[in-house]
Amino acid sequence: TRAGDPYAPWRHLPLGDNLRFVGTVNVDETTHFFSPKVIDRTQVVTFGAPDLSRPPARAAKARDLGVRSVDAATYRSWLRGPEAADPAVHGLLVELDRPLRELRCGLGFRVRDRILAYVASAADLLPADAALDFALAQNVVPRIRAAHTAAGEALDRLCAFVPRERFPRAGALLQALRESEGAHEFFQLL
């Protein structure tokens, strides 16, 4: 700490567990893709390309969408830990981890627990497969490096575990990676 630093009192700020940081990134030919370390600590939410043949939609107000402010205690009451997830979800993640390890992008405890907690916390909002589909598309598929020498066989197994019929988002992304035959990575498919 520098003497006379006017920001010294704010050098360390306590942050509550109800605080989330959200950011956006444009992915194009001028940007670098996220490193595996960054992807390990984030959820990647993607948006489809706009339909230019239609006029832009009116920006919805939060109140029109039913969005309301809640206090930290209410927010925490909605959260479930990874232990609350259905054991079948855990079993699927164990099976998915095997081909991911061949690609050197195994899940690890942090990602596994984030997915389990996400699915458990969404239980009152979404069917388990829909929540798992979102979680796989946001946490697993962005980790895959399709140019890896073992990618073809591993992606075949992943596509079998994550069929498009059951998991439309994650399954479609995995299939697109498989069909690219290593020519494209996740962020290039967006």
Q: What is the pTM for the complete model shown? A: 0.74
pLDDT, residue 17, reads 74
pLDDT, residue 39, reads 73
* Model confidence pLDDT, tens digit, residues 21-31: 777 777 666 66
- The answer for 108, left when phi > 0, alpha when psi is -120 to 50, beta otherwise, is left
* Model confidence pLDDT, tens digit, residues 42-75: 777 777 777 788 887 777 776 776 777 778 888 8
pLDDT, residue 28, reads 65
- Where the chain has pLDDT below 50, the residues are none
Q: Please report, for residues 11, 21, 53, 59, 157, the alpha-carbon distance to residue 56 in angstroms, rounded to integers and kept in the order given.
A: 43, 27, 9, 9, 40
pLDDT, residue 83, reads 96
DSSP string, 99-117: HHHHTT---HHHHHHHHHH
pLDDT, residue 190, reads 62
Residue 128 · residue 86 · CB < 8 Å: yes
* The residue type at 110: R
DSSP string, 32-68: PPPPHHHHHT------PPP-TTSPPPPPPPGGGGT--
Query: If DSSP codes are grouped into helix, strand and coil, which group holds residue 146?
Result: coil
Query: If DSSP codes are grouped into helix, strand and coil, which group holds residue 42?
Result: coil
The secondary structure element, H or E, covering residue 148 is none
